[in-house]
């Protein structure tokens, strides 16, 4: 007897298969889904546990590597040695402001009170900053030197103006070949916003007491600077310059080579322009120098790197097995894992920001101009 397709029995379907219903006269198609084997599930589970354990281990290693002193400073070992023969390294980096002073003060207190710290290496990577902030750090560096322990400076890519001021008290100064240093001078900056105020149709009205009328709003960004005020500001800057020069002379002593230089300056414009001969005192003329020229002028002692500086500090302290440790303010675990936060632009429209905008800034700063 002839059999039709409908008469052919359908084979049993495995429990792990999913069969799609089909119309008569069509071949039935089954899709089989294999369940993960016990071995596969075990491998995936182990992979996840290994990943978690690896992350935890990395965090533990990072935290243990960045040891913390009793004063809350994090430190790392640059060279192993005796624990009671510490050469303490600290870096002043970036603009020298109140925050830099606060951080350095923590290190200063630790180094000043620790009997295990036998020498200090100050790593300077800074173009300078505020006059007051630079002078404060200079004072602390000088105080560390006065304890009788060697202080050696290692200059990075730039250690100019205020960066040089804080370096001056050191027993010896090392700079790299490409280091920019010097720039011994003082500037004052204040923005001129008169044109902006006219464009937006605004005006700043200032009331002054009678006796302070001439000087109280000197260098205001809202009005032109009077010749008398400009002269007064020059007197103030010259006095600060003299203080800066005394700091350098005291720190460098007979190593410093001071000389007079001559140059010509063009005064006036057009047919009335004339060249005037002037003199300047080198190296106190605000000029920036590379390491080779700075060494010739006695601004630095040697051309070398951080390793040379802390090796020399150990020699000056008479250490046989110095332990070189780099100290820095303690950060959070997150900051240690992922580094510093990315730079961002913040626009501050507070009254405090307006006050800063109006106030002249007295700076010992190399601007690259």
Beta-carbon contacts of residue 104 (< 8 Å; ≥ 6 apart): 90, 92, 137, 140
Buried b (16+ CB within 10 A) or exposed e, 15-50: eeeeeeeeeeeeeeeeeeeeeeeeeeeeeeeeeeee
pLDDT confidence bin for 327, thresholds 50/70/90 = very high
pTM: 0.75
User: Are the C-beta atoms of 16 and 30 separated by less than 8 Å?
Assistant: no
User: Are the C-beta atoms of 77 and 324 separated by less than 8 Å?
Assistant: yes
Model confidence pLDDT, tens digit, residues 41-90: 666 677 666 777 666 555 544 444 445 555 578 999 999 999 999 999 99
DSSP 62-95: HHHHSEE-TTSEEEEEEE---TTSEEEEEEEES-
CA 331 to chain centre: 15
Helix or strand run (H / E) with residue 129? strand 128-130
Q: Which of 7-21, 81-95, 160-174, 176-190 is the least confident region?
A: 7-21
Q: Say if 163 falls within a structural domain.
A: yes
Count how many domains the chain has: 1
User: Judging by beta carbons within 10 Å of its beta carbon (0-12, 13-18, 19+), is residue 155 exposed, middle or buried?
Assistant: buried
Which range is most confident: 100-109, 257-266, 344-353?
100-109
Q: Which of 12-21, 66-75, 118-127, 141-150 is the least confident region?
A: 12-21
Positions marked catalytic: 161, 216
Model confidence pLDDT, tens digit, residues 82-123: 999 999 999 999 999 999 999 999 999 999 999 999 999 999
Q: Say if 199 falls within a structural domain.
A: no
Higher pLDDT, 357 or 325: 325
Q: Say if 142 falls within a structural domain.
A: yes
Q: Say if 31 falls within a structural domain.
A: no
Q: Tell me the mean pLDDT in the region 328-344.
A: 53
Structural domain boundaries enclosing 284: 70-190+223-267+276-332+356-365
Q: Say if 232 falls within a structural domain.
A: yes
**CB-CB neighbours of 66 under 10 Å:** 15
Helix or strand run (H / E) with residue 155? strand 151-160
Output the domain CATH number for residue 299: 3.90.226.10
Q: State the pairing for strand pair 67-68/86-93.
A: unpaired
CA distance 365 to 32: 75
Q: Say if 126 falls within a structural domain.
A: yes
CA distance 90 to 94: 13
Higher pLDDT, 44 or 140: 140
Question: 260: which 2 tokens?
Answer: 């007079």
Q: Say if 322 falls within a structural domain.
A: yes
């Amino acid at each position: 007897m002839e059999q039709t397709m409908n008469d052919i029995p359908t084979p049993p379907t495995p429990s792990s298969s999913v069969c799609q219903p089909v119309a008569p006269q069509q071949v039935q198609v089954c899709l089989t889904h294999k369940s993960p084997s016990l071995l596969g599930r075990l491998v995936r589970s182990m992979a996840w546990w290994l990943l978690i354990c690896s992350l935890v281990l990395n965090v533990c290693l990072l935290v243990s590597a960045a040891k913390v002193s009793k004063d809350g400073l994090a430190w790392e070992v640059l060279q192993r040695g005796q624990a009671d023969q510490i050469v303490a390294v600290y870096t002043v980096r970036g603009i020298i402001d109140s925050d830099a002073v606060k951080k350095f003060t923590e290190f200063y207190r630790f180094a000043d009170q620790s009997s295990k710290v036998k020498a200090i290496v100050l790593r300077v990577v800074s173009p300078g900053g505020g006059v007051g902030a630079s002078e404060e750090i200079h004072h602390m560096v000088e105080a560390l030197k006065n304890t009788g322990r060697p202080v050696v400076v290692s200059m990075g890519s730039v250690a100019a103006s205020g960066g040089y001021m804080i370096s001056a008290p050191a027993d010896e100064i090392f700079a790299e070949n490409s280091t920019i240093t010097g720039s011994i001078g003082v500037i004052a900056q204040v923005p001129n916003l008169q044109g902006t105020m006219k464009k937006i149709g605004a005006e700043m009205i200032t009331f002054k007491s009678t006796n302070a009328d001439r000087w109280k709003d000197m260098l205001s960004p809202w009005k032109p600077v009077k010749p008398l005020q400009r002269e007064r500001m020059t007197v103030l800057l010259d006095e600060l310059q003299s203080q800066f020069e005394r700091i350098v002379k005291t720190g460098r002593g007979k190593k410093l080579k001071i000389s007079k230089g001559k140059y010509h300056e063009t005064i006036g414009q057009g047919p009335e322009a004339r060249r005037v001969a002037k003199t300047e005192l080198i190296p106190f003329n605000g000029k920036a120098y590379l390491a080779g020229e700075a060494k010739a002028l006695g601004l630095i002692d040697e051309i070398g790197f951080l390793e040379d500086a802390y090796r020399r500090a150990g020699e000056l302290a008479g250490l046989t097995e110095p332990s070189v440790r780099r100290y820095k303010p303690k950060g959070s675990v997150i900051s240690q894992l992922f580094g510093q936060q990315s730079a961002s632009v913040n626009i501050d429209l507070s009254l405090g920001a307006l006050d800063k905008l109006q106030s002249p800034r007295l700076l010992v700063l190399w601007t690259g101009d």
